[in-house]
Amino acid sequence: MRILVVTHKPLASLSSGHDLRVLHLCRELAKRHELYLCTVNLGYKFNDGLVGLADIFKKMNDAPNLPTHRPALKRHFRRNDSNYYSLSYPHHFSMVTKAIADVCEQNSISHMIVFSLFLAGFVRPFSSDKKILFDLIDSEALTLTRQIQFFPPWQLKTRLKAHLMRARCAKAEACLPHWFNHVTTVNDADSDTVYRLSGRSTNISTIPNGVSTDLAETFDANGRVAKRRGVAFWGNLSFKPNSDAVRFFYENVYRPYLAPAGIEWCVVGRDAERWLLEEAKRDHGIRLTGFVDNISSVLAEYPIMVNPMRIGSGLKNKVLEAFAMGLAVVSTGLGIEALSMAREGIDYIRADEPEKIAFAIKLLIEDECLRLSMIKSARKVVLEHYTWNKVARDLDALLCSL
């Protein structure tokens, strides 16, 4: 099978959930099929791409870059977000669709995998003669729905803008199952949103993320003796769901409950907000590492990972990573919803209120037997259900059935 993979940004960062998903799924699929890459760069800036892509893709092509001139005013009258680029840059839109058509013709492409809602309009013209699997990954409509509930009432302009964005995204997502052979997301909640918006279309499936075997092999059952009395959180701190989770945890859990108990809080990731940098200078119980190349070397010192997510959708890769690396997980329900095979109270502790989050952390710090039992159980779940090899086989089965 010859498959064209279309992305809306260069594959440039292993700290990007999008890039990780595309990279690992394609690496597994390349063992069975010929893969070709077409990058439609919609304004993203990057220095260097990820290494090793030439081992995955037989050929890599870049579509024409997004113009630097202002987009056309027609874009403001769109009801459906899939029309944004055709209305904003009509000439560029035609050039990109022609570039994709040329790649398909030159390489006898039979199937396409398209990542991201931004590309729906660009690839729709090919739906009549190509088998297209559209990987939405996360539902933007669901993400915005959850985010809006936390906007203060006095931010009327922000709320109105978010409602308009949600309406446009919802219309775009509703079209996907009707335009393409199959639609996948990373989470059942995202799939259910598209199912409902599309009028109960049945060609929608959930393909979760996974972990690499290299990461899973960092686990050492005999070495899981906590070196620090603390809890860790990691991720891209400029990502809104992560920054919201960090602020919520600091104000409602760490400051009133953990700091007085002498429990350290380690935050790993780039782009920490100024307020957090200032608090870390004043409070030695907060450890900010910034971005680290080998995250397991830092996390090996901590017994617990906390995932206090309140907004967003999709799958939180950090939970899978914690399971694989041997950290006990305390998470809100939203933070764990994508992992349907994980069992509450056995593989992780669910806690949504600040007092319950703090209680769960203290319990796991003090009760080593409970913590180790949970760690071993969660790791078994990851290895059985959430490796890239396993989820890519499920995706491959979908492709072959189109």
Taking the C-alpha atoms of 43, 147, 319 and 246 in order, what is their torsion angle to the nearest 10 degrees? 90
Indicate if the pLDDT at residue 223 is higher than 60.
no
pLDDT of res. 51 = 77
Q: Cβ contacts of residue 27 below 8 Å, gap of 6+?
A: 56, 388
pLDDT band at 218 (very low <50, low <70, confident <90, very high): low
pLDDT (tens digit per residue) in 380-399: 999 999 999 999 999 999 99
Higher pLDDT, 223 or 201: 201
pLDDT band at 297 (very low <50, low <70, confident <90, very high): confident
pLDDT of res. 216 = 61
pLDDT (tens digit per residue) in 37-82: 999 999 887 767 787 899 999 999 999 999 999 999 999 999 999 9
Token pair listed for 280: 């870390």
Residue type for position 51: V
How would you write 323-365 as a 3-class SS string? Answer: HHHCCEEEECHHHHCCCCCCCECCCEEECCCHHHHHHHHHHHH
pLDDT of res. 294 = 84
Indicate if the pLDDT at residue 316 is higher than 90.
no
pTM of model > 0.95: no
pLDDT band at 213 (very low <50, low <70, confident <90, very high): confident
* Cα→Cα distances 287→16, 279, 282, Å: 22, 10, 11
Where are any strands of DSSP class E within 208-312? 230-234, 264-268, 286-290, 304-307
Buried b (16+ CB within 10 A) or exposed e, 245-265: bbebbbebbbbebbbeeebbb
pLDDT of res. 118 = 94
Indicate if the pLDDT at residue 400 is higher than 90.
yes
pLDDT (tens digit per residue) in 133-184: 999 999 999 999 999 999 988 999 999 999 999 999 999 999 999 999 999 9
Share of the chain above pLDDT 90, in %: 85
CATH code for the part of the protein at 213-385: 3.40.50.2000
pLDDT of res. 222 = 43
Indicate if the pLDDT at residue 119 is higher than 60.
yes
Compute the average pLDDT of residues 296-325.
91
| Structural domain spans, the chain | 2-210+388-401, 213-385
Query: How are the residues of the chain apportioned to helix, strand and coil, as percentages rounded to the nearest 5?
Result: 50, 15, 35
Angle in degrees, CA 351, 324, 364, rounded to 5: 40
Indicate if the pLDDT at residue 241 is higher than 60.
yes
Question: What do you get for the CA distance between the two ends of the chain, in Å?
Answer: 12
pLDDT (tens digit per residue) in 32-42: 999 999 999 99
Arithmetic mean of pLDDT over the chain: 93
Angle between helices 140-148 and 188-197 (to 10 degrees): 100
Indicate if the pLDDT at residue 100 is higher than 60.
yes
pLDDT of res. 195 = 98
* Cα→Cα distances 185→114, 125, 154, 294, 359, Å: 12, 22, 34, 28, 33
Alpha carbon distance 23, 197 (integer Å)? 29
Alpha carbon distance 271, 17 (integer Å)? 16
Indicate if the pLDDT at residue 359 is higher than 60.
yes
Alpha carbon distance 287, 295 (integer Å)? 14
Fold match between 2-210+388-401 and 213-385? yes
pLDDT of res. 50 = 81
pLDDT band at 15 (very low <50, low <70, confident <90, very high): confident
Architecture of domain 2-210+388-401 in this structure: 3-Layer(aba) Sandwich (3.40)
Nearest CA among 56, 50, 40 for reference residue 103? 40
Compute the average pLDDT of residues 309-326.
90
pLDDT (tens digit per residue) in 265-290: 999 999 999 999 999 999 999 999 99
Compute the average pLDDT of residues 202-225.
76
